[in-house]
């Protein structure tokens, strides 16, 4: 008797004996299971505007350039189920995100084809982000990775663009988190800069709150203060970041060495001890702050006074040494 006949016999026996009161065993006696070999995605258009669901469902074969078979079905709660025969197609679609329709983004998620479609979390979006106006002294992969983690779940650096002089990173960002175009960073005692971000294929971003989730609705969120020079500074440090964000280096302390006379850059040496500082100024250097009235050296001389100020805004990377003084781990 074949495995199919044996399974049918067990099914008939179970139905006759249990009368719906016992679990029915549909497992084959040997060989492959019953789950189909297809892979799945669940998507939803993030918009409050009216749109034709059939037109929306019909755009994906050409947009995704599917090699295998693609089936698109309308599901509950305005969601769409995508069934793909080739796992490579699903991976290519996932890596090509974000996707959109009629100026609104499409939220996507992998689907195991078991839980109800309505319960699949659609709470993340993945973006390629180009970093702009990052000072040359802070363009190492380690610092770029740390910046990525301040935006969301950092994925990787585009090595090809980095060779061409561009800083481009892949980041997964929760949909309930605003997408900033600018952000201030504090990287050393008194060294700070404002980085700018350009998102590839950005659709539906609210110019007020920075969210992409309420296309077609009036914004009721708080306005971003990214154009405010007094906006809160994000301290680039190891606190709250995974080990890969810091390159696996011990972050218990650092040594700030004297600036080089040729470039004026501060050298940062990481060690496992307490933080020690050596003040200095490069020969012939008169690097001034953005206000133009203080040199870099004079800014460092005032560092301790400003560091102890309760009004100093810091979001991550604050530590204390044995004497109770605040230390920013760079």
Task: Return the pLDDT at 257.
Answer: 29
Whether residue 314 is predicted with pLDDT greater than 90 in this model: the reply is: no
Which one is predicted more confidently, 162 or 328? 162
Q: What is the mean pLDDT of residues 97-120?
A: 94
Report the pLDDT value the prediction gives residue 62, as an integer from 0 to 100. 86
Q: Are 264 and 300 in contact (CB under 8 A)?
A: no
pLDDT of residue 302: 46
- Kindly report the average pLDDT of the chain as a whole number: 75
Q: Which of 270, 103, 283, 298 is nearest to 190 (CA)?
A: 298
Can you tell me the mean pLDDT for 304-324?
40
Segment 112-163, tens digit of pLDDT: 989 999 999 999 999 999 999 999 999 999 999 999 999 999 999 998 887 7
The predicted pLDDT at position 18 comes to: 54
Residues sharing a CB contact under 8 Å with residue 131, sequence separation 6 or more, in sequence order: 144, 147, 167, 168, 169, 195, 196, 197
Cα–Cα distance for residue pair 144/147, rounded to 1 Å? 5
Query: Which domains, ranges and CATH numbers included, belong to the chain?
Result: 1-33 (no CATH), 35-119 (3.30.70.330), 125-235 (no CATH), 249-328 (no CATH)
Query: To 5 degrees, how large is the angle CA 215–CA 217–CA 220?
Result: 110
Spatial strand order of the sheet with 104-111 comes to 70-74, 79-84, 39-45, 104-111, 99-101
Nearest to 194 by CA among 159, 170, 230, 163: 230
Mark out the alpha helices in the chain (DSSP H runs). 3-18, 53-57, 60-64, 87-95, 141-151, 159-163, 296-301, 303-307
pLDDT tens per residue, range 222-237: 898 888 888 888 888 7
Question: Which residues lie closer than 8 Å to 248 by C-beta, 6 or more apart?
Answer: none
Say if residue 303's pLDDT is above 50: no
* Sign, CA torsion 89/92/94/99: negative
Rounded CA-CA distance 266/263 in Å is 9
pTM: 0.65
Sorting pLDDT into bands at 50, 70 and 90, what band is 21? low
CB 288 within 8 A of CB 295: yes
pLDDT in tens, 50-67: 999 989 999 998 899 999
In this prediction, residue 16 carries a pLDDT of 59
Q: Distance between CA 252 and CA 256 in Å, rounded?
A: 14
DSSP 310: T
Segment among 88-102, 126-140, 188-202, 299-313 with least mean pLDDT: 299-313
Distance between CA 265 and CA 30 in Å, rounded? 68
pLDDT of residue 190: 78
CA separation for the pair 224, 232 (Å, rounded): 11
How far, in Å, CA of 187 to CA of 243, rounded?
18
pLDDT tens-digit series, residues 228-269 = 888 888 888 755 566 666 555 544 333 332 333 334 444 333
Query: How confident is the model at residue 48, as a pLDDT?
Result: 93
- pLDDT tens by residue, 172-223: 999 999 999 999 999 876 789 999 999 999 999 999 999 999 999 999 988 9
Report whether pLDDT(31) > 80. no
């Amino acid at each position: 008797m074949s495995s199919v006949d044996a399974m049918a016999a067990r099914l008939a026996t179970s139905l006759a004996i249990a009368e719906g009161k016992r679990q029915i065993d549909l497992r084959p006696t040997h060989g492959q299971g019953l789950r189909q070999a297809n892979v799945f995605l669940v998507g939803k258009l993030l918009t409050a505007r009216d749109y034709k669901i059939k037109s929306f469902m019909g755009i994906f074969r050409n947009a995704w350039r599917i090699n295998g078979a693609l089936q698109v079905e309308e599901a509950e709660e305005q969601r769409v189920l995508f069934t793909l025969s080739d796992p490579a197609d699903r991976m290519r679609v996932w890596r090509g995100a974000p996707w959109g329709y009629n100026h609104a983004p499409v939220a996507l998620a992998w689907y195991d084809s078991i839980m109800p479609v309505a319960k699949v979390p659609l709470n993340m979006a993945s973006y390629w982000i180009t970093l702009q106006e990052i000072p040359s002294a802070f363009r190492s992969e380690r610092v770029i990775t740390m910046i990525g983690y301040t935006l969301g779940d950092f994925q990787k650096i585009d090595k090809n663009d980095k060779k061409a002089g561009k800083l481009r990173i892949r980041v997964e960002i929760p949909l309930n988190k605003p997408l900033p175009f600018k952000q201030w960073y504090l990287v050393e005692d008194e060294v700070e800069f404002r980085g700018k971000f350009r998102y590839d294929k950005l659709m539906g971003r609210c110019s007020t709150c920075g969210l992409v989730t309420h296309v077609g609705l009036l914004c009721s969120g708080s306005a971003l203060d990214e154009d405010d020079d007094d906006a809160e500074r994000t301290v680039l440090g190891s606190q709250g970041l995974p080990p890969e964000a810091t390159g696996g280096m011990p972050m218990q302390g650092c040594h700030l060495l004297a600036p080089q006379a040729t470039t004026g850059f501060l050298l940062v040496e990481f060690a496992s001890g307490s933080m020690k500082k050596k003040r200095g100024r490069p020969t012939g250097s008169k690097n001034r702050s953005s206000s133009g009235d203080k040199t870099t050296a004079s800014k460092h001389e005032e560092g301790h006074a400003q560091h102890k100020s309760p009004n100093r805004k810091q979001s991550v990377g604050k530590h204390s040494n044995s004497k109770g003084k605040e230390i920013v781990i760079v």
